[in-house]
Amino acid sequence: MLQSGNRNRVVMWASVAILLVLSAPAGAVTTCVDSAASFEAALTDAGTGGSGNNSDNTIRLVAGTFTTSGAPFTFSTASGFALTIEGGYSPTCASQDLAPGLSVLDGGNVNQALSIQTNGTITVRHLTIRNGFHGGSSDGGGARIILRQLQPADPMPTLVFDSNVVANNSSDYSVGGMYVSASAPEPNTPAAIAYIENSLFAGNVAPTVAALSINLTPGSTSYLTNDTFTKNVNTGPASATIGLGGGDPTTLAYVSNTISYGNTASYDYYLTGFQTVQFNNDDYGTIAGSQPRPGSGANLIGIDPQFVASDDFHLQTTSPLLRAGTLTPVGGLPAIDIEGNPRSFAGFVDIGAYQDTDVIFANSFDSS
């Protein structure tokens, strides 16, 4: 529950868009935005030089489409404070609907949709990032997220990317969907943690890595849990849907309960470095680069997930991926799925971003 006694302000834009700063706990700012202009203003205010830079910030996006205009929606800070960006809100942000696709960041097939640089914690939830384009010599057609540790003693910056859709983004350089990287001030300094969970990556296009590339520095860890990758397209040779690594044996990744199926690529995963990526209870086809880390297991190799339709990535009731996930993935099991349903049911968890809520066949018997 939001506490009272803090500042409230309303800024009226020429476009009649409203930037509303809601009451929030002391030292934190919560902002409700309903237009591209008010979203840009909120990101600027929370970033370097803004009035909210020295506090934690939450930006709530109402349901609607936020289209870039000449540049990506950009946030940059070195203050170390946290930023949360989440969608699905009612016009006054009094309530939230967790159905995917309600709040959309759209690059218009001209701009990258979202660009973030931070040394704090960045949380992105319940958004659709689509139609982004990034060319030239940079990565991430839809989104580019840079996690920077500025001093060796600083806490590791953290990305929580939860319950999002990354769709129909492209790049003519390298990575189509989303690119995540990290930097550290000294060699072998732990740099970052990244959680990519409950998210759908579909229809992204690039020459090298179509959907997602995570390139972290030594000592960093990334967790991919209950994600779905499908219909992503690589346009170059020796390409992959997902790239993970960092070229160092201390850069770790854990992939759990995740689907990579129906993509156009040479490989589902390309692993950079040593045996540092562990796969458990996943559905994928091929892996190149290094081999999976010892301890990997219970994977379904090349199994058709049996999606409901070509544009509906729920699982059919006959899918072999139902109740085939692990309840104890490394990094933790999310509490809810991409639609806000409980992530597990009756002691079972499905593979992929969508959790089945049909209880009739939970024990393989019709209860009627």
The model's pLDDT over 278-333, given as tens digits with 9 standing for 90+, comes to: 999 999 999 999 989 999 999 999 999 999 999 999 999 999 999 999 999 999 99
Our count of domains for the chain comes to: 1
Which positions ≥6 away from 259 have C-beta within 8 Å?
Answer: 227, 228, 229, 230, 282, 283, 284, 305, 321, 351, 352, 353
Q: Which domain holds residue 134?
A: 98-315
The secondary element (H helix, E strand) that includes residue 20 is strand 18-22
Q: How many CA atoms lie within 13 A of 3 on its CB side?
A: 8
**Phi-psi sector, 185: left (phi>0), alpha (psi -120 to 50), beta:** alpha
Question: For residue 341, is it within any domain?
Answer: no
- Antiparallel, parallel or unpaired: β 133-134 and 170-171: parallel
User: Is 119 a member of any domain?
Assistant: yes
Give the pairing type, strands 18-22 and 9-12. antiparallel
Distance separating alpha carbons of residues 124 and 60, to the nearest angstrom: 10
Higher pLDDT, 324 or 189: 324
For residue 246, tell me if it sits in a domain: yes
* Tens of pLDDT, residues 151-160: 777 788 999 9
Q: Are strands 205-206 and 200-202 parallel, antiparallel or unpaired?
A: unpaired
35 vs 17, higher pLDDT: 35
In a domain, 217, yes or no: yes
Alpha-carbon span 265 to 77, nearest angstrom? 36
Count of residues for the chain? 368
Residue 249 lies inside a defined structural domain of this protein: yes
